[in-house]
Amino acid sequence: MTLTQVSSSKVFAGLHQQFTHVSAVNNCTMKFAIYLPPQVQQGQTVPVLYWLSGLTCTDENFMQKAGAFKLAAELGIAIVAPDTSPRGENVPDDTEQSYDLGLGAGFYLNATESPWQTYYNMYDYIVNELPEIIQNNFPVNKQQGISGHSMGGHGALTIGLKNPEKYSSISAFSPICNPTKCPWGIKAFTAYLGDNPTLWLEYDATELIKRNIADSNKLPILISQGDSDNFLAEQLMPDNLIAAAEQNNYPLTYCLEVGYDHSYFFISSFIEQHLRFFNSNLTSK
């Protein structure tokens, strides 16, 4: 795998870098960003937190707005932020160019329907291809966590729940918790996955928790949600996820924060809590 460096900047004694590479699963050139804390310059390997961004975002939104570098440097945590979808001249987009389907809206799934299935395989990209690239090219160890915001929170939850052996913890800001029941999810799943309700359930965190009854496979989850989020009731539906977790004795911590909305102002206010949560749940994996 050949990586092409796009940028490199020193920040809190570590490095923020961007790279592109040709993705085998998405059949296009992908970009990701990585923050390497100063401990790697001392010969240490460090744990890595994967951050999945939301609709319309790229690798840049979290890295530029979240304010995560200072604590990541102190704790010795690498952060990887991929793009939110495949991109390129041949990659299909929504014909109406809406923000919630197509470019910037990959929903972290493997599409099965035309014209999406050739390129939109973000699930395989996040679970397998990108971590292999990171492990082979950067001084990170096997300890991984996954986090995200909105659509990326949906991705973090579903990917973590389906692959508990790969991660130490899951966290999310304002995640889409029950996409098979909300307008964003129904639109995306219909386009990407067709009319197969069984396949839809594979990418719904609420449904995945309902069937997760094995205590050995329960990763700790932290969710932060603002009560002034204008998407809360119609799109995010955290109450459904909370009820499923309670019914299955799932270790989910839900923090409803008064007055906060859906923006990166909210994320930057509580990102340190999420980094400490990841750090406190590191294992010897």
Return the active site residues. 150, 229, 262
- Distance in angstroms (rounded) separating the CA atoms of residues 148 and 9: 23
Could you tell me the domains of the chain? 4-279 (3.40.50.1820)
pLDDT digit string (tens) for the chain, length 285 residues: 799 999 999 999 999 999 999 999 999 999 999 999 999 999 999 999 999 999 999 999 999 999 999 999 999 999 999 999 999 999 999 999 899 999 999 999 999 999 999 999 999 999 999 999 999 999 999 999 999 999 999 999 999 999 999 999 999 999 999 999 999 999 999 999 999 888 999 999 999 999 875 566 889 999 999 999 999 999 999 999 999 999 999 999 999 999 999 999 999 999 999 999 999 999 744
Which 8-state DSSP code applies to residue 43?
T
User: Structure tokens of 171?
Assistant: 């966290």
Q: 0.75 exceeded by the pTM?
A: yes
